[in-house]
A and B are shown apart, each in its own frame.
Chain A
């Protein structure tokens, strides 16, 4: 017999993270060469993407190291890493905690088992901790590696770094549930799971925005050495005060820099304190958590007499393709986890953009004035286009469209619908949001930068061509390799490799194009024409080839 708590943790972790396992075939069957090639390809792509994103962090840390070194303050790099990791882990963890608060099917089943509230909450916290740890580990690793290469610290440093990575997510985790559980309990009178999740998501986003503003503010001043010295040097410096105000980061920093037994002591202390905080929250709120799950899925049953007028009003014919598209939109927007990770990002981004623009107005004005030629050259137009393209491809709509629909596929396939139309409806759904993102990015950023209208329009068109391409590429990917077996909708979107491949791939592609544009000696018009032709050409070609592929592929899917 296994104790209930460990097996509960195992159950939750598997239900969230376990990759879609293929049913085991005949014993000892050899994996085909094609399978192996595919796996190798995916691993390579993953490494490439991780390297791409990793390089951003590496650059940030390197810049910071160079700025701090002259003052002999390079150790603060580590404090910064611990603080940044804590904040990022808090934001990401907050969203994960909200979206996994009640994993409907799994959790209502668990409630019927003789388990204590604190076991339920504890298991869920561990589940969230795992992904946070992976993230914190990555961030601390980058800073620690740079520090290690430049400074060759003693061995105790590495132990300290590992303890830090383990401890960093704990305090945020405790804080997250300290906020989330009362928040959801408080929102219960709304009696609406959707409203609750969306308000929760908005709160999470608000934290993200505040943090982002802080980072932007700090980043824009990193080159100002007077500011750096004022804020980082001396006991009254900002970072030191921040570290003291947030003891876990201070302890983490000390555990890496104090060296020897002292370092180990600090590291263990931070681990113990973090564990204590998380356990305290678990014990204090476990009961409230379990109670809040009861009836979380409750829905309002509307009773309306089916009068003739009601029937006439409610039942009206529509073009099948339109009906397919509106089905896609409804199914996405009404599942809070999908909504928060998809359309919500794009809808909130303009708000975010406006805040950033207003708060950085002076800075921006100065920059633009300094770079006189920038506004009229290709750089500003491309920047607006890149932002629009990023937004337009950020919703994960197309690259998870088939996976999200996995359960309904057997039914849909029995209806007289051409598979290509099913796929095309999914494309149109994603494209509508791509259009919106491109508008906000292209025209919005164009306006902030004060671009001439023609340039803004060009930026919009470029963004649209790029994001349309990511839509069809994502749809193709998810049609070819959908995630069909899942019991929690999160799995279809967040644990869907297609979504990570596409979002990171789009970012990498944008980065590469940025570098290419800096390198090419072309003017605005030539760059616009080349990129627009390339991406709209690719999109049209893929759209033209998709129907044949869809007819074949949907026919083959067995689920």
Chain B
């Protein structure tokens, strides 16, 4: 379970208010899509949620642990696939995986078991000894996915995870999301593509300019906009456009 209460963040350097009074609750066992155009504040929200950025205001709770008062325990409760897979190009894949597993205190037996099954699932099992710098973007992304699950976290948080993945890998990733949700774990991912969210999310939130425009299921979104037959993509665009206009007024 993840709870965000009234989160706000203004970047000190640019003075941009990236997130503005955002509240959300994500339940165990659901796949939650965080949807919005570029610059909407998705990454900023995920950074606050994962303890990377300090919110100016608001409270974050992950698995019942408050991020502000016990960040280490809160951070142990999720696995993160960040928006930038270009991180440790100088390390070998296995060195990186070992590092992450060490940090999460994953014992040897479980570590080997999970590396084997996840790496072969994403077809990177034969390049574990190679330098990450030699990987394609998609392979790096897959490696980050593997690393994020080594400690089998209760919550799985992914920032734009489909970017750079081939159709097979994207399919495998969605499959894995479904499996985890089915076993009672929580999946939260951000995307700017409606179609992705439409396919697999139990619930979605649409955000623009740091504010939530809609929270609910896909059928609820259709019902709210009323017009059957309109594609969800255009509903999404309309919502965002309306909020842009409201901001101008």
Minimal Cβ-Cβ distance residue in A for B12:
A558
Please, how many angstroms separate the alpha-carbon atoms of A415 and B78 in the complex? Answer: 9
| B75 in contact with A416 (CB, 8 Å) | yes
A23 in complex: contacting residue of B14, B52, B119, CB < 8 Å: B14
| A330 in contact with B95 (CB, 8 Å) | yes
Which of B76, B88, B99, B100 has most chain A Cβ within 10 Å? B99
Which residues from chain B contact A314 at a C-beta distance below 8 Å? 94, 98, 128-129
Q: A323-B102, A558-B13 are in contact. Are A408 and B88 (CB under 8 A)?
A: yes
| B98 in contact with A315 (CB, 8 Å) | yes
A-B residue pair count with CB separations less than 8 angstroms? 133
Which residues from chain B contact A23 at a C-beta distance below 8 Å? 11, 13-14
B126 at the interface (CB under 8 A from A): yes
User: Mask for A295-315, Cβ within 8 A of B = 1, else 0?
Assistant: 001011111111010111011
Please, how many angstroms separate the alpha-carbon atoms of A241 and B131 in the complex? Answer: 52
Which residues from chain B contact A319 at a C-beta distance below 8 Å? 102
Which residues from chain A contact B126 at a C-beta distance below 8 Å? 303-306
Minimal Cβ-Cβ distance residue in B for A409:
B52
Which residues from chain B contact A154 at a C-beta distance below 8 Å? none
Which of A25, A305, A410 has most chain B Cβ within 10 Å? A410
Q: A25-B14, A306-B128, A411-B82 are in contact. Are A317 and B106 (CB under 8 A)?
A: yes
Please, how many angstroms separate the alpha-carbon atoms of A302 and B129 in the complex? Answer: 6
B96 nearest CB across to chain A (Å)? 9
| B95 in contact with A413 (CB, 8 Å) | no
Minimal Cβ-Cβ distance residue in A for B134:
A299
A556 nearest CB across to chain B (Å)? 7
Chain B interfacial residues counted at CB < 8 A: 53
Please, how many angstroms separate the alpha-carbon atoms of A407 and B52 in the complex? Answer: 13
A331 at the interface (CB under 8 A from B): yes
Please, how many angstroms separate the alpha-carbon atoms of A492 and B22 in the complex? Answer: 35
Please, how many angstroms separate the alpha-carbon atoms of A304 and B128 in the complex? Answer: 7
Minimal Cβ-Cβ distance residue in B for A316:
B108
Considering only residues 329-350 of chain A, those with a C-beta below 8 Å from chain B are 330-331, 334-335
| B100 in contact with A408 (CB, 8 Å) | no
Which residues from chain B contact A556 at a C-beta distance below 8 Å? 54
A318 at the interface (CB under 8 A from B): yes
Which residues from chain B contact A452 at a C-beta distance below 8 Å? none
Which residues from chain A contact B87 at a C-beta distance below 8 Å? 407-408, 411
User: Mask for B116-152, Cβ within 8 A of A = 1, else 0?
Assistant: 1001100001111111011000000000000000000
Which residues from chain A contact B111 at a C-beta distance below 8 Å? 315, 317
B194 nearest CB across to chain A (Å)? 26
B197 at the interface (CB under 8 A from A): no
Minimal Cβ-Cβ distance residue in B for A333:
B90
A99 nearest CB across to chain B (Å)? 16
B175 at the interface (CB under 8 A from A): no
| B125 in contact with A306 (CB, 8 Å) | yes
A327 at the interface (CB under 8 A from B): yes
A22 at the interface (CB under 8 A from B): yes
B248 at the interface (CB under 8 A from A): no
Which residues from chain A contact B76 at a C-beta distance below 8 Å? 416
| A316 in contact with B13 (CB, 8 Å) | no
| B50 in contact with A414 (CB, 8 Å) | yes
| B80 in contact with A414 (CB, 8 Å) | yes
A317 in complex: contacting residue of B71, B94, B107, B120, CB < 8 Å: B107
Please, how many angstroms separate the alpha-carbon atoms of A327 and B101 in the complex? Answer: 13
Minimal Cβ-Cβ distance residue in A for B157:
A414
Minimal Cβ-Cβ distance residue in A for B116:
A311
Which of B14, B52, B130, B131 has most chain A Cβ within 10 Å? B52
Please, how many angstroms separate the alpha-carbon atoms of A558 and B12 in the complex? Answer: 8
A25 in complex: contacting residue of B15, B105, B108, B119, CB < 8 Å: B15
Considering only residues 4-30 of chain A, those with a C-beta below 8 Å from chain B are 22-26, 29
A51 at the interface (CB under 8 A from B): no
Please, how many angstroms separate the alpha-carbon atoms of A303 and B102 in the complex? Answer: 24
| A415 in contact with B108 (CB, 8 Å) | no
B214 at the interface (CB under 8 A from A): no
Q: A312-B112, A407-B86, A410-B82 are in contact. Are A558 and B53 (CB under 8 A)?
A: yes
| A315 in contact with B115 (CB, 8 Å) | yes
| B51 in contact with A418 (CB, 8 Å) | no
Q: Can you show 19 pairs from A to B with CB atoms below 8 A apart?
A: A22-B13, A25-B13, A25-B15, A304-B128, A308-B116, A312-B112, A317-B105, A323-B98, A323-B102, A408-B87, A408-B88, A410-B82, A413-B50, A414-B50, A415-B75, A415-B100, A416-B76, A418-B72, A558-B12
Which B residues fall within an 8 A CB radius of A?
A: 11-15, 47, 50-54, 71-73, 75-76, 80, 82, 84, 86-88, 90-91, 94-95, 97-108, 111-112, 115-116, 119-120, 125-131, 133-134
